[in-house]
Amino acid sequence: MNGLLCSAFGWLDERFDVKGLVEFASHKRVPIHRGSVFYYAGGVCAFLFLLQVASGILLLMYYRVGTDASYESVRYIITKVPFGWLMRSVHSWGANLMVLFVFIHMLSVLFMKAYRKPRELTWVTGCALMGLAMAFGFSGYLLPWNELAYFATKVGTDIIGQVPLVGHFLLKIVRGGEEVTGATLSRFFGLHVAILPALLTSLMGVHLLFVQVQGMADTDKAKKTMPFFPNFILRDAILWLLVLNAVCALAVFLPWELGKKADALASAPAGIKPEWYFLAQYQFLKILPGKIGPVSGELVGIGVVSLAGLLFVAVPFWDRVLPEERRDRAVNLFGWVSLAVLAAMTVWGHLS
């Protein structure tokens, strides 16, 4: 067996210089310092994405798209298909944990200032990946065609419609018409299972390529390092196993509910709220008055949220123009204030 593996390796090496890759991996080292634990967050995001792909493909075997089929097919999956309830809950919990770990990864990079030169583009691609992860969550949320999803999509897509000049055009493209209907469901399905996976996979490839070429950011100037392969990767694997266990435990003990089927002629139910990662924006839109001066409150809200997002993405570029002695403090203040506002609005949105 060993001989067979060796000859297969030799065959591949002759053609693709695999030894070069192994050599590269064996020289790659990971700094060891008090923040090293956060190096694992990115790997967990990648692992959860793979879990989503796998569980999503399994769900596709039974899921049918359409206003008369989506809800029924998900109900069939969770009530009749062997382990269907598990697959659906793993997919739902996996999505939530993926967004959570993307947040952890982004915030740790922000606070460790790992986005600084030469890693500006790694940060920007990371921000784009976070946007794609949230788009995945938003588009997938509608697919069971239940009451909560229907209203969340109505509100979310209406926000797109508020964008000045092109809003109505974008709204019609996203919804497939003026209203949230079966056409919207078809578009979200295409987005969720074809467009977003292709975009996310490509961008993740670019992101990982940047990380491989530039190595891990060593902002603490660590004296000790460990080999990436096998030491770091094996630690990564242990964490992936723990995360898989956590997803399965959540799926078993807190299975995801299906709720009531969407009805275009039913009132929005009392206590309706979006997923936790949209709660802060939801609460912010809720507290704004109808008009702020001559401008509509929604438009002001969208403007403020977009500006905050832009500031976040542009951190590597505004950080470098600050005086060096104030740079770290300014970014830390920005990070902590953003985090505090997000957390406070999320808790307020949950409780109100």
Partner 1 sequence: MNRKTFLNLAVGAGGAGFLASMVYPVLRFLLPAEQTEAQPDVLKVGTVKDFGDGASKILKFGRHPIIVIRDAKGGFHALSATCTHLDCIVQYKKDEDLVWCACHNGKYDLSGKNVSGPPPRPLDKYTVKVQGEDLLVLRETA
Pairwise CA distance, residues 279 & 45, whole Å: 21
Q: Is 17 in the site for partner 1 (CB under 8 A)?
A: no
Pairwise CA distance, residues 76 & 58, whole Å: 14
What size, in residues, is the chain?
Answer: 352
Q: Which residues on neighbouring strands pair with residue 31, listed in sequence order? A: 225
SS3 311: helix
The binder of partner 1 chosen from 173, 238, 343, 344 (CB under 8 A): 173
The binder of partner 1 chosen from 155, 199, 203, 314 (CB under 8 A): 155
CB 150 → partner 1: shortest distance, Å? 9
CA distances from 200 to 185, 212, 247 (A): 21, 18, 21
- Name the one range near partner 1 by CB under 8 A: 21-29, 113-121, 215-223, 270-278: 270-278
CB 69 → partner 1: shortest distance, Å? 21
- Name the one range near partner 1 by CB under 8 A: 17-25, 50-58, 165-173, 317-325: 165-173
Q: What is the 3-state secondary structure (H, E, C) of 193-236?
A: HHHHHHHHHHHHHHHHHHHHHHCCCCCCCCCEEEEHHHHHHHHH
- Per-residue binding letters, 211-250, with partner 1 (x by CB under 8 A): ----------------------------------------
Which tokens go with 255? 């299975």
- Per-residue binding letters, 132-151, with partner 1 (x by CB under 8 A): -------------------x
Which tokens go with 216? 């891990």
Count of residues that interact with partner 1, criterion CB under 8 A: 34
Q: Is 259 in the site for partner 1 (CB under 8 A)?
A: no
Nearest to 185 by CA among 53, 74, 50: 74
- Per-residue binding letters, 294-323, with partner 1 (x by CB under 8 A): --xxx-------------------------
Containing 120, the helix (H) or strand (E) segment is helix 120-142
The binder of partner 1 chosen from 66, 131, 167, 177 (CB under 8 A): 177
* Residue ranges binding partner 1 (CB under 8 A): 151, 154-155, 157-159, 169, 172-173, 176-179, 183, 264-272, 282, 285-291, 296-298
